[in-house]
Structure 1
Amino acid sequence: MTVVIWKDGRFLTPEEPALSAVDHGVTVGDGLFETCAVYGGQAFALSRHLRRLARSAAGLGLEAPDEAMVRRGVGQVLERAGEQAGRLRITVTAGAAPLGSMRGDGPLSVLVAAGPVGPAAVTNRVVRLPWVRNERSAVAGLKTTSYAENVVGYAYAAARGADEGLLANTVGALCEGTASNVFVERDGELLTPHLTTGPLAGITRELLLEWGVEEGLPVREARPDELPFTVLDDVATGRVHLALAGSIRNVVPVVALDGQGCAPGPLCLAAQELFTRRAGEQIDP
């Protein structure tokens, strides 16, 4: 299938321009986005994604787009895309503005697009990245379109045969992947870095924490100082296991770190099974 694109109430072809050359999202990356998995023609966890979209808008100092309008766009796009759609993206930018950092006073640009997605991976390979995430950045924890750092990090990982790259923050704490949250299985628990260390508050992360509590899986948010980046050194010894979480990958155990194979941990595998099952039971949890 081709990508189905909707902007401000009308459909566009992939060849049609969707944003002005002076849109602030184009010139300086002043925008935000959400990506949802699509199952059976419906966006998974859409309400949670729209709440996070509003939080990101507030963090950028932008007015949140009208939720009813976005939902209409999502519905129209998914109806046209049909059963083959596997991924939905909602993008909001600050709209037309002068060339530079100053925003204009025009309306937001709102786009919704849906397209196919490849076969789901059941495991992932990761590498440690040589750069850090700034947990004190003005946009830390926001899902913005200023994504160049993530693109560079992913390219570094892909060039080394990996599916994802892992980042520390500026004080040496384990933070996140370029497009995923990380879970660490250690001493009979599954831990994910605290949000104050700088990661995105992922929707899959959020749901796994909630569902894990409900089903007795020992999963929790770590204390801010509990997961140093050096915890990854213990993956090679088998004392630590890893899993990644994201809106398209869901929960995926890690089977290689920096080119060295490692076994998936039992809690990582249990988390994968739990998430897959619960996601199949409710489309908008």
Structure 2
Amino acid sequence: MNPIVWAGGTLREPGEPVVAATDHGFTVGDGVFETLAVRDGVPFALSRHLARLAYSADRMGLGMPDGAAVREAIAAVMGAGVVTRLRVTVTSGAGPMGSARGDGAPTLIVTGVDAPRPHTCRAVRAPWKRNERSALAGVKTTSYAENVVMVEYARSKGADEAIIANTFGNLCEGTATNVFVERGGEVVTPPLASGCLAGITRGLALEWGVRAALPMRVAAPGELAMSVLDEVLAGEAHLAVTSSTRGVQHVSSLDGEDIAAGPLLRKVSAAYELAAERNPDPAVPSRR
């Protein structure tokens, strides 16, 4: 189906232009976004996604539209057709031809599509690094060209995701996923200090997995070298990715070699799915 688009305060016709040629989100990627799964007709973890959107906007120095207005736009899109995936995009709006911003209002666009959930993950190791010292580290920004290049590299290798190390050579994340490794009788995930995004699904998997008495934790800085993926290929460890659209998903192949699912990671996935069904909008954790 055609995407359902809300922009400029109203629903738009399919194919209708909605972004100015001078919008900084278009010209220099000056914006932030969130992608949400829709479960049983409800945008999943909406409060957490909007909190992260506001955090990303603050990190970027962007004006953030009122949360109630964003929720109204989402409701309009949800009421206009069948939607299984939502995207909320905020840019700095129209600006000059350069990096400096203009002084106009931010642009808000909400898009809904009916798209199938990815059922498998085939991954490769990316030959590039994630810069954990970048000004955009941990920000979900529309400046996504780096990830596009890495996904195209993965596709050229018959995969659909690329796993990235940071500049220290430590395991960081995928282009659109966080990563979890099962080894030594526990499940660990790279720390945010590695430069990875604070994924909504990553956080919920940790919370709900621990609540289900599963042995899982955030790794210490430097604990997970990229070479841990050699252990995965040797069958000594197991790998899963997490994202809003994938949930907690076993990586079925790495660098072209089939790999087995981890028994603990299967339990993490089951715990996540059960908790998500029971609580479609988990509360935003308090910051201390």
* TM-score bracket for this pair, using the shorter chain length: over 0.9
Contact 1:129 1:167 in 2 (8 A): yes
Deviation sequence 1:198-222 (CA, Å, 0-9, x none): 0000000010111011110111111
Q: Following superposition, which runs of at least 4 residues in structure 1 exceed 4 angstroms of deviation?
A: none
Aligned to 1:45: 45
Cα RMSD of the aligned pairs, angstroms, is 1.0
Aligned to 2:102: 104
Aligned to 2:272: 275
**Deviation of the 1:119 alpha carbon:** 4.3
The amino acid that maps onto 1:211 is W
The amino acid that maps onto 1:150 is N
Q: Percent identity?
A: 53
Contact 2:11 2:76 in 1 (8 A): no
Aligned to 2:116: 118
Written as runs of structure 1 = structure 2, the 5 A alignment for 1:260-271 is 260-271=257-268
Deviation sequence 1:164-214 (CA, Å, 0-9, x none): 110000110100000000001010111110001100000000101110111
Aligned to 1:139: 136
Q: How far apart, in 1, do the equivalents of 2:251 and 2:113 lie?
A: 26
Contact 1:41 1:79 in 2 (8 A): no
The amino acid that maps onto 2:100 is M
State whether structure 2 residue 69 is matched by structure 1 residue 69: yes
Deviation sequence 1:122-144 (CA, Å, 0-9, x none): x3211000001000000000000
Q: How far apart, in 2, do the equivalents of 1:200 and 1:5 lie?
A: 26
| Structure 1 residue corresponding to 2:195, chosen from 192, 195, 198 | 198
Q: How far apart, in 1, do the equivalents of 2:79 and 2:52 lie?
A: 24
| TM-score normalised by the chain length of structure 2 | 0.96
Deviates more, 1:131-140 or 1:6-15: 6-15
Q: How far apart, in 1, do the equivalents of 2:117 and 2:213 lie?
A: 30
Can you give the 5+ residue segments of structure 1 that lack an aligned partner in the other structure? none
| Structure 2 residue corresponding to 1:92, chosen from 76, 90, 93 | 90
Can you give the 5+ residue segments of structure 2 that lack an aligned partner in the other structure? 283-288
Q: How far apart, in 1, do the equivalents of 2:186 and 2:130 lie?
A: 25
